[in-house]
Amino acid sequence: MLTDNQVIYNGEAIYENHGVIAGTPTSPFLADVYLKEVDRYFSDTNVIYTRYSDDISCLLQIRRRLRPIKGKSKNSSNSID
């Protein structure tokens, strides 16, 4: 597994204490593995969405339909009323 938490960018060390450093070759693979259940849930419930790595955008007709989905996320955004 990955043991180094830094990457050198433009001669400067960048440290990541949680997760995988964005832009590394393993980050898209691990996002796909980790979010497989989220993808399946959206597919099964016919939610139109797009995902780039761990950034998810949903297209819904009403907000009530998004609230149950938001509750399934451990670190969900507060931008949904």
Q: Which residue has the tokens 């949904």?
A: 80
Model confidence pLDDT, tens digit, residues 39-55: 999 889 888 889 888 78
Going from N- to C-terminal start, the domains of the chain cover 1-27, 35-81
Model confidence pLDDT, tens digit, residues 20-77: 767 777 788 888 998 999 899 988 988 888 988 878 888 776 666 666 666 666 555 5
Backbone angles phi, psi at 31, to 5 degrees: -65, -40
Cα dist. 22→33, 53, 71 in Å? 15, 9, 25
Q: Which residue has the tokens 């139109």?
A: 48
**Separation of alpha carbons 9 and 20, rounded Å:** 15
pLDDT at 64: 63
What pTM value is reported for the model?
0.51
Which has the higher per-residue pLDDT, 74 or 5? 5
